[in-house]
Structure 1
Amino acid sequence: MYGLADCNNFFVSCERVFAPRLEGIPVVVLSNNDGCVISRSNEAKAIGIRMGQPLFQASPLIRRHGVQVLSSNYALYSDMSHRVMTTLRSLVPAAEVYSIDEAFLDLSGIPTGELSALGRRIASTVRRHTGIPVSIGTAPSKTLAKIASKLCKQYPKLHDSCLMYRPEDIAKVLRTFPVQDIWGIGRRHGPMLRGAGILTAGQFVQAREEWIRHRMGVAGLRTWKELRGEPCIGFEHTPPAKQQICTSRSFAAEATDPDDLRRAVALFTAQCAEKLRRQGSVCSEVQVFIATNRHRPELPQQYANRILSPPTPTDSTLELTVLAERALRSIFTPGFGYKKAGVILSGIGPRAAVQTSLFDPSDRGRQTRLMKALDQVNGRFGRHTLVTAAQGFDPVKTNRNHVSPNYTTSWDELPEIKV
């Protein structure tokens, strides 16, 4: 059996841990630059604020209902996620972190009759240790466990734990569960299935296996089997290496100066390279993209990107920064105001598998030692203590007008208790 622990309205819940005054009132957390809504309390959902809705569109509802608006505080959310995952690992045989607010639980060997109570115990323990509410869904496959966790949020009488294993119970749930909400269906297959008259998960599992394979391939067939109670997605005890690494950011104001964009792209490249080294990988492709503000149609619009490859797959910040700067120069067009930029590393593989060329212009051993020293300095004294000259020390300017303190990651912002 598989479990899924899903933190409820995670970013909002993190804020409420340190600000109890936010309990019971509508709260939203915004994306970078306070652009769009990325987390909503149940109260905010009830008044009609949509996920991903731009702040300017939601402003009338926010003013009318006195919604508390907060800027994203990813340092806080990451630390709280680590605390939740650590607690989960102490309660089950193994936990597989799926995202910042979700983890699959390995419940094999535990008697079925004990799983519902175990789910409630896990939810109450996580809430007691971290302050974060979680929903525990338990089922014979990961995809069904995802559905079970959603039911927890819809039906409070389940008390944060939904065990779904009997075929008749599964069939009853799938009969009305929207097909577009199935894990693994996504935006690509959802419209196709609805166009074929398949609107619910129940209709999906009744489709012929050959039709599913022909229209959706192996991935769709795997989802189809998972919904029928046949586990096809194994439990990963160690997270797989990322096959693509991206760092992107929206700017506080449209960037027209190429030097500002160059510094931002250099910073994004350094952050990507750090993640690449952390997982012991190298990349063979660097993509840089820049985009204007699509919410301002009265301004000239452009989206441009360029992909370049190093002579040898690398994890060196210096080599990748040179490529990223070259790519940026080739796509930057004067006269446009760019609102967003990003760097994507792809063609990722293990560092140990790299075969260098006899004519490689770089000293690989020296680059490796230099990057190791860079990571050690920044790990000990704080991120961006040691940087490349291209990125400089000035941070990318962003709008964070409603940000909360870093309660758990900064000595200067620890909560204060007045007695």
Structure 2
Amino acid sequence: MGAPYFKYRDQLAEAGVVVRSSNYTLYADISNRVMRIIADMVPTVEVYSIDECWADFSGIAEREALGRAIRARLLQWVGMPVGVGISTTKTLAKLANWAAKKWPATGGVVDLSDPVRQEKLLRIAAVDEVWGIGRRLAPKLALLGIRTAWDLANYDVGTLRKTFGVTLERTARELRGISCIDLSDGPPPKQAICSSKMFGTKLRDLAPIQEAMATYVSRAAEKLREQASLCGALQVSLQTQVHDPHKPRYANALTCVLPVPTDDTRDILQLALRCLQRIYVPGYAYSKCAILLTDLSQRGEVTADLFAPTPRRGSEALMAVMDHINKREGRGTVRLGRVPADPDWGMRREMKSECYTTCWEELLHVCG
């Protein structure tokens, strides 16, 4: 995990490993297709991440049968194999999903609603397989004799709360079948939004770094509007490479407050470029810049400042039109003039797979 490709290029080639660069457009499209299919088959869906969601099975008698139907439809319609875990709480459902993936004999679906089956799995599942535990917390739990999910479920919740906090107490209660985490329609709005990527090549001049910053600001502002938030402050950072200790290093960041909270890409970019100008130092080979939007609020939450500058006229409508066009025609169809369509500094993805589902020119060709 996380090993640089160039270090193992020769070994991978000798082993015949097929290497592919990241293809975020394809990932997002497949994820959206999967979520839409699941949403058509269950009463309520909560999207948890790009490859995971919760589904409400309340009132459904044949739960396992529905789980297998969902799995079969996704495999047939999208070609995506999935695991389905079913139980009375989110934490138990996650553990059931782990079991569905671990043991092929389950057929990819495990219903853990029955208390007897719950106990059987809890006794054999290591505690670090429990949702939210992880391998850092597991050794600390082992010192208390908690090595399996069953041990955690039956440990004194008061001691867990006092030692580790309310989150772990809640996890233990969920393992006992007591629902503590409700199903919601979606994740809460993010408290900060970051956009950043490594440059495909080292940049020394300010102009291409400004182009990159404009690109990242545009994406961050899109995310901001997706959750209907306004940005009150931002942080701009710039850095050189960190792997080679023999090459000159430089890193700096600057935080600035916007005159008024906004979601207008133009206003955010204007301030971001001023910050970038202040931290840029000539003579270095830069490898990365980043934009972090902070002090986020929802529309109507913040009282307007009588002495603040008047917001741009028609800003909200313009941004809405831009987002609508880009959502319908593809990201980047309408963009600021500073954002290049195919930048030289873009992330290197020479081995990227084709965008089979979103680009006409890259559709699969079948010869008879």
Q: State TM-score, norm by structure 2.
A: 0.90
Aligned to 1:55: 5
Which residue in 2 is equivalent to 1:304? Answer: 252
The aligned counterpart of 1:48 is none
Provide the aligned length of Structure 1 versus Structure 2.
367
> For residue 84 of structure 2, what is the aligned residue in structure 1?
136
> Which residue, 324, 328, 331 being the options, matches 2:276?
328
Distance verdict in 2 for CA 1:135–1:253, change over 3 Å: same
Q: Separation in 2 of the partners of 1:406 and 1:64?
A: 27
The corresponding residue for 1:405 is 354
1:354-365 equivalences under 5 Å are: 354-365=302-313
Secondary structure of 2:165's partner?
helix
Q: Are 1:366 and 2:314 an aligned pair?
A: yes
SS at match of 1:348: strand
State the alpha-carbon separation in 2 of the partners of residues 176 and 306 from structure 1. Answer: 50
- The alignment status of 1:264 with 2:264, answered yes or no, reads no
CA contact (8 A) 1:174 1:200 kept: yes
> Structure 2: any 5+ residue segments left out of the alignment?
none
Q: 1:117 pairs with 65, 77, 85, which one? A: 65
With the length of structure 1 as denominator, give the TM-score of the two structures. 0.80
Identify the residue that residue 14 of structure 1 maps to in structure 2: none
Q: CA deviation at 1:159?
A: 0.4
Matches within 5 A, 1:232-311: 232-311=180-259
Q: Match of 2:235, SS?
A: strand
8 A Cα contact 1:189 1:216, kept in partner? no
> Aligned partner of 1:397: which letter?
G
Residue 96, structure 1, aligned to residue 61, structure 2: no
Counterpart AA for 1:107? F
> 1:127 maps to what in 2?
75
Cα shift readout 1:370-400 (whole Å, capped 9, x = no counterpart): 3234334544554334333443444342211
Give identity over the alignment, percent.
Answer: 38
Give 1:301 shift.
Answer: 3.6
Query: What is the alpha-carbon distance in structure 1 between the residues aligned to residue 292 and residue 142 of structure 2?
Result: 33
Residues 125 and 373 of structure 1: CA distance in aligned 2, closer, same or farther (over 3 Å) = closer
The alpha-carbon distance between structure 1 residues 188 and 329, as it changes in their structure 2 partners (threshold 3 A), is farther
CA RMSD in angstroms, aligned pairs only: 2.4
Superposed CA deviations along residues 345-364 of structure 1, whole A, max 9, x for unmatched, are 22222123332211221335
Q: 3-state SS of the aligned residue for 1:290?
A: strand
Q: How does 1:106-255 map to 2 (within 5 A)?
A: 106-111=56-61, 114-186=62-134, 189-190=137-138, 192-194=140-142, 196=144, 198-255=146-203
Q: Which segments of 5 or more consecutive residues in structure 1 lack a partner in the other structure? A: 1-50
Residues 35 and 47, structure 2, Cα contact 8 Å, conserved in 1: yes
- Partner secondary structure for residue 360 of structure 1: coil
Contact 2:237 2:253 (C-alpha < 8 Å) held by counterparts: yes
**1:267 counterpart letter in structure 2:** T
Counterpart of 1:66 in structure 2 is 16
Contact 1:97/1:104, CA 8 A, preserved across alignment: yes
Pairing 1:347–2:292 present: no
From the superposition, tell whether residues 335 and 382 of structure 1 become closer, same or farther in structure 2 (CA, over 3 Å). same
Q: In structure 2, do the counterparts of structure 1 residues 177 and 300 end up closer, same or farther at CA, with 3 Å as the change threshold?
A: farther
SS at 2:20 equivalent: strand
1:3-22, aligned counterparts within 5 Å?
Answer: none
